[in-house]
Amino acid sequence: MSLLPLETINVFRDTVDKIIDIYGFEVELYIPEPATVEQRESLDVYMEKPDDKEHYKAPIVTKVFIEWQPDIKRLRRLGIFTEDNLPIVCWLKNIPEITRNAYIRVPIQYQKNEWGSDEFELVDCLVKNTYNAVVVTAWSIAPRRK
């Protein structure tokens, strides 16, 4: 049994997508492909690390809204409790293929120079109070190690 009708959930999703279109900025989103058996077998200790182009789909240009330094009270409302370090929160449009280990490439004019990287990996999905459908997806992101 659904708490909200599907039409209402779709309206919420469209509204969130429009808000991110207005306030967000464009990034390239790289989503990992599922590895085949041959790819998994070829990855052993002595092999070179394969190129990222082999394991990621073609980039998707989308818009995101990033909170570089969120407030501790705002994080508590999202259900995130931290002690020392504050995560970077990234709000994405509704793209169902997004998984952990995907990464985004942020243009240099939108980021701080603290990290020394323009690529940020999607580390943890921050979804709160989903009853029967996900309306908005936020991700905790971290600088990507190459």
Does any domain span residue 41?
no
Q: Look at the chain and report how many structural domains it folds into.
A: 1
- Tokens (6 digits) for 89: 């929160």
Under the banding of pLDDT at 50, 70 and 90, the label for residue 44 is: low
26-36 pLDDT, tens digit per residue, is: 999 998 887 65
Q: Are 96 and 56 in contact (CB under 8 A)?
A: no
Strands 60-67 and 88-92: antiparallel
Q: What local confidence, expressed as pLDDT, does residue 53 receive?
A: 47
Does any domain span residue 54?
yes
Which residues constitute the domain of residue 105?
A: 6-33+49-143
Does any domain span residue 115?
yes
CATH (domain of 81): 2.40.10
Q: Are 122 and 144 in contact (CB under 8 A)?
A: no
Does any domain span residue 1?
no
89-99 pLDDT, tens digit per residue, is: 888 888 888 88
46: left (phi over 0), alpha (psi -120 to 50) or beta: alpha
Whose CA is closest to 64, among 38, 34, 26, 94? Answer: 26
Please, is 32 exposed, middle or buried when counting C-beta atoms within 10 Å of its C-beta (0-12, 13-18, 19+)? middle
Does any domain span residue 28?
yes
What is the distance between the alpha carbons of residues 49 and 98, in angstroms, rounded to a whole number? Answer: 23
Determine the distance from the C-alpha atom of residue 133 to the mean position of all C-alpha atoms in its chain, rounded to a whole number.
Answer: 18
Does any domain span residue 58?
yes
Q: What local confidence, expressed as pLDDT, does residue 61 receive?
A: 92
Does any domain span residue 38?
no
Whose CA is closest to 87, among 51, 139, 132? Answer: 139
55-69 pLDDT, tens digit per residue, is: 778 888 999 988 887
Q: What is the pTM of this model?
A: 0.74
Q: What local confidence, expressed as pLDDT, does residue 82 receive?
A: 65
Does any domain span residue 129?
yes
